[in-house]
Amino acid sequence: MQALVPVSLIAMFLGCFCIYRASPNQRWRATPWPALRARAAGIALLAFGGWGCLREFSAVAAVFVFCTAVMLFFCLVPYLGALAGLRRSDSNETR
């Protein structure tokens, strides 16, 4: 079941994205998502990703993969938001 690993990583990325978008300091859009719904969805997606890791790896490896992926995604999502903001401002200046 090697397809579960990419699905778990995608779920973890989306979980981190949902939690970040619920933050009032997020830079993807002017207004954040509703906090309770977005955080609940993010936690559910992270739980699904963790479950997928536990199904594919041993317990120690699953915890390592989960923690490393979550660290990466929580660091990556704000930078992607800043990059998206720069692209939006560049496209508005050319008009």
Match 């939006």 to its residue by tokens: 88
- 27 class by beta-carbon count within 10 Å (0-12 exposed, 13-18 middle, 19+ buried): middle
| pLDDT value at residue 87 | 77
Q: How confident is the model at residue 95 (pLDDT cuts 50, 70, 90)?
A: low
| pLDDT value at residue 7 | 95
- pTM confidence score: 0.87
User: Residue 82 in contact with residue 27, Cβ under 8 Å?
Assistant: yes
pLDDT in tens, 13-57: 999 999 999 999 888 888 899 999 999 999 999 999 999 999 999
| pLDDT higher than 90, residue 73 | yes
